[in-house]
Amino acid sequence: MGKINLGKKLTVMLCVVLCCVQTTGCDKKAVKEQAAQIAQGAKDAAAEKVDAYLESCTESDSESEVYKPSMKDEPEIYERAVDDFFAAVDSGDKEKILAQFAPNVRKNNKDLEENLDELLSFYPGPTDRCERDGNVVEGNYDQEYGIDRYNALSWFAVVSGGTTYYCKFSYVYRDDADPDNVGIEFVDMVSEKVICAENFKWPEEPGIFVKEDAPGDYETARIGGNPVIYVPVERKQTLTKEDVEAFLKTGGNFTDFKKQFGEPNVEEVKYSSYAYELPEEDGEKRYVSFLVDHKKDWEILRVTIEEETGIVETLYRSPELD
């Protein structure tokens, strides 16, 4: 998380503490404790500043003087906005949820409350895990003649009751021309089947969008954090990590691998990525994922062992990727 204009102040204060050691022979333990208190104070001050800003976003008085954030404040503001939204959803407090949307969204979207009911029916909570943390945030930044408009958006997985949902969340955190645009712009929530559907696109329209089902009969899986279409494959014998490691020693390409072990469970041709199911470990699903160069005789570029949320181990990486 980024800090808000406190780095310089913190550096000066820490220097004062360190000078104390040299000039007065202060106890080292006391100095460390004092430095820790200063650092925590700076962190708390930054959090208070963001809290005050987010609270001001729910006020209807557009003319009130509030702190105007800059782009460097974006990660902290966005993270807090997402956390506040799902906390309100988990509590089932409709008024608190609606208050987080920008005033103009509340004013212009006549179906907002009805769509919120759909969202709470589709995603009742509580939230077991929100995987927003640490991901890169997209942003749109408009600056013209001193008038700034910033918004941040990202899509991520949220888990509730053992089911994974996917959310795209857009938050406008500054609009000098019309402060009533500040707040949540849209929340799109879909199932894994929907996000894996052919030609799926996020609507990205102001308000709330919910979709649970999509045409077609297909299974899905989540590999390395990515939702994918999964095809069951019967194999003569269960593929193991040791099988993959033994094959890699032969120097064969991906075509050779398929001849030996059969078709993959997952094909993402667009990204030249293919995955095979492995035996579960400690109750967690495991897959071996191949990145290949299909224009260069199906050369294997990278092989990784992956679970649902990320990479567990890299078995091979071509020097070409360095």
**Whether residue 274 is found in the same domain as residue 293:** yes
Give the pTM: 0.76
Query: How far is the C-alpha of 286 from the C-alpha of 134, rounded, in Å?
Result: 23
**Whether residue 197 is found in the same domain as residue 264:** no
**Whether residue 151 is found in the same domain as residue 184:** yes
**Whether residue 80 is found in the same domain as residue 41:** no
In tens, the pLDDT along 306-318 reads 999 999 999 999 9
**Whether residue 94 is found in the same domain as residue 210:** yes
Domain membership of residue 65 (yes or no) is no
Nearest to 127 by CA among 91, 152, 101: 91
Range of the domain at 309: 220-321
Of 26-30, 58-62, 81-85, the least confident: 58-62
Question: Which stretches of 57-111 are DSSP H helices?
Answer: 74-91, 94-99, 103-108
**Whether residue 225 is found in the same domain as residue 208:** no
In tens, the pLDDT along 256-294 reads 999 999 999 999 988 899 999 999 999 999 999 999 999
Domain membership of residue 61 (yes or no) is no
In the chain, the number of structural domains is: 3
Q: How far is CA 171 from CA 33, 78, 151, 186, in A?
A: 38, 7, 5, 7
In tens, the pLDDT along 86-108 reads 999 999 999 999 999 999 999 99
Last residue of some domain: 56, 80, 95?
56
Nearest to 299 by CA among 275, 316, 277, 287: 316
**Whether residue 239 is found in the same domain as residue 130:** no
**Whether residue 81 is found in the same domain as residue 177:** yes
| Confidence (pLDDT) at 281 | 94
In tens, the pLDDT along 167-209 reads 999 999 999 999 999 999 999 999 999 999 999 999 999 999 9
